[in-house]
Structure 1
Amino acid sequence: MHSASQDRAPIYEALQKYKAMRIVPFDVPGHKQGRGNPELREFLGERCLSVDVNAMKPLDNLGHPVSVIKEAEELAADAFDAYHAFFMVNGTTSAVQAMIMSVCKQGDKIIMPRNVHKSAINALIISGAIPVYVNPGVNNALGIPLGMSISEVKKAMEQHPDAKAIFINNPTYYGICSDLKTITELAHQKGMFVLADEAHGTHFYFGENQPLNAMAAGADMAAVSMHKTGGSLSQSSFLLIGSRLNIGHVRQIINLTQTTSASYLLLSSLDISRRNLALDGKNIFAKVTSLANYGRDEINKIGGYYAFSKELINGDSIFDFDTTKLVVHTRDIGLAGVEVYDILRDNYDIQIEFGDIGNILAIISVGDRALALERLVSSLSEIKRLYMRDKTGMFDHEYITPDVGMAPQRAFYSEQHSLPIRKSAGQISGEFVMAYPPGIPILAPGERITEEIIDYIVYAKSKGSFLTGTEDMFIENIRVVGE
Structure 2
Amino acid sequence: MDHLQTPIFTAMKAYHAKKVFPFDVPGHKHGRGLPEFAAYFGNTMLELDVNSMKPLDFLGNPTSVIKESEALLADAFGADRGFLIVGGTSFAVQTMIMATVTTGDKIILPRNVHKSAINALILCGAEPVYMAPEIDNEMGVSHNITLESLKRAYEDHPESKAVFIINPTYYGAACDLKTITDYCHEKGMMVLVDEAHGSHFHFHEKFPMSGMDAGADMSSVSLHKTGGSLTQSSALLVKTDRIDAQYVRKVINTMQTTSPSYLLMASIDVARKMLATEGHKILSHIIEIADYARAEINKIPGCYAIGYEAEEQPGIYKFDPTKLSVNTRNMGLNGMELYDILRDDYNIQMETGDVYNSLAILSVGDDYDSVNTLIDALKSISKRFHSARIDYKKIDLHYPEVVLTPREAFYADKEMVALEDTLGRISGESLMSYPPGIPVVSYGERINESVIEQIKLFKASHGVVSGMEDPEANFIKVIKG
- Whether TM-score is above 0.5 comes out as yes
The percent of aligned pairs where both chains have the same amino acid is 49
Match of 1:411 in 2: 409
Residue type matched to 2:246 in 1? Answer: G
Residue of structure 2 equivalent to 1:169 = 166
Alignment of 1:185-334 (within 5 A): 185-243=182-240, 244-314=242-312, 317-334=315-332
Post-superposition CA distance 1:152-181 (Å, at most 9, x none) = 111111221111100000000010001111
Q: Residue 22 of structure 2 corresponds to which residue in structure 1?
A: 25
Contact 2:399–2:450 (Cα < 8 Å) also in 1: no
Q: Deviation of residue 284 (structure 1)?
A: 1.0
**Long gaps (5+) in structure 2:** none
Separation in 2 of the partners of 1:401 and 1:294?
A: 37
Helix, strand or coil for the counterpart of 1:6?
coil
Partner of 2:367: 369
Kept in 1: contact 2:354–2:463 (CA 8 A)? yes
Matches within 5 A, 1:470-481: 470-481=468-479
Quick one: distance in 1 between partners of 2:357 and 2:434?
Answer: 14
Instruction: Give the AA of the match of 1:257.
Output: M
C-alpha distance in structure 2 between counterparts of 1:394 and 1:249, whole Å: 48
Q: Which moved more, 1:402-411 or 1:121-130?
A: 402-411
Match of 2:48 among 48, 51, 72: 51
State how far apart, in whole Å, the 2-side matches of 1:466 and 1:140 are.
Answer: 20
- Matched-pair contact (CA < 8 Å) for 1:74–1:85: yes
**Distance in 1 of aligned mates of 2:378 and 2:401:** 38
1:121, 1:408 within 8 Å by CA — same for their partners in 2?
yes
Whether contact under 8 Å (2:329, 2:391) holds in the other structure is no
Q: Aligned-pair distance for 1:184?
A: 0.6
Distance 2:358 2:288 in 1: 19
Deviations, residues 83-108 of structure 1 (Å, cap 9, x unaligned)? 00000001101000000000001121
Distance, in Å, in 2 between the alignment partners of 1:394 and 1:382 is 25
Check conservation: 1:313, 1:319, Cα contact below 8 A: yes
User: Are residues 354 and 397 of structure 1, via their aligned partners in 2, closer, same or farther at CA, if it must alter by over 3 Å?
Assistant: farther
Give the 3-state SS of the residue equivalent to 2:3 in structure 1: helix
CA contact (8 A) 2:3 2:72 kept: yes
**Are the aligned partners of 2:329 and 2:390 in contact in 1 as well (CA < 8 Å)?**
no
Please point out which of 461, 465, 473 is paired with 1:467.
Answer: 465
- Partner deviation per Cα, 1:417-470 (whole Å, 9 max, x = no partner): 001112211211110111111111111111121233222212211221111100
Aligned residue pairs total 480
Q: Note if contact 2:426-2:479 (Cα within 8 Å) is conserved in structure 1.
A: yes
Aligned-residue Cα RMSD (Å) equals: 1.4
- Is structure 2 residue 351 aligned with structure 1 residue 353? yes
- Greater alpha carbon shift after TM alignment, 400-409 vs 371-380: 400-409
> For the residues of structure 2 that align with 1:276 and 1:250, how far apart are their CA atoms?
27
Match of 1:100 in 2: 97
Which amino acid is the alignment partner of residue 105 of structure 1?
T
| Greater mean deviation of Cα atoms: 261-270 or 201-210 | 201-210
Gaps in structure 1 of 5+ consecutive residues:
none
Letter in 1 for 2:70: E
The answer to whether the aligner puts 1:134 opposite 2:144 as a matched pair is: no
Deviation at 1:403, TM superposition (A): 2.2
Deviation at 1:207, TM superposition (A): 2.3
Q: Quickly say closer, same or farther: Cα 1:281–1:393, change in 2 above 3 A.
A: closer
Question: Are 1:329 and 1:337, in contact at CA under 8 Å, matched by a contact in 2?
Answer: yes
CA distance in 2, matches of 1:384, 1:394: 20
Q: Secondary structure at the match of 2:185?
A: helix
C-alpha distance in 2 between matches for 1:447 and 1:125: 13
TM-score relative to the length of structure 1? 0.97
1:65 corresponds to: 62
Give the counterpart letter for 1:106 in structure 2: T
Aligned counterparts of 1:379 and 1:395: Cα–Cα separation in 2: 29
Deviates more, 1:222-231 or 1:378-387: 378-387
Residue 400 of structure 1 and its aligned partner are, at CA, apart by 4.8
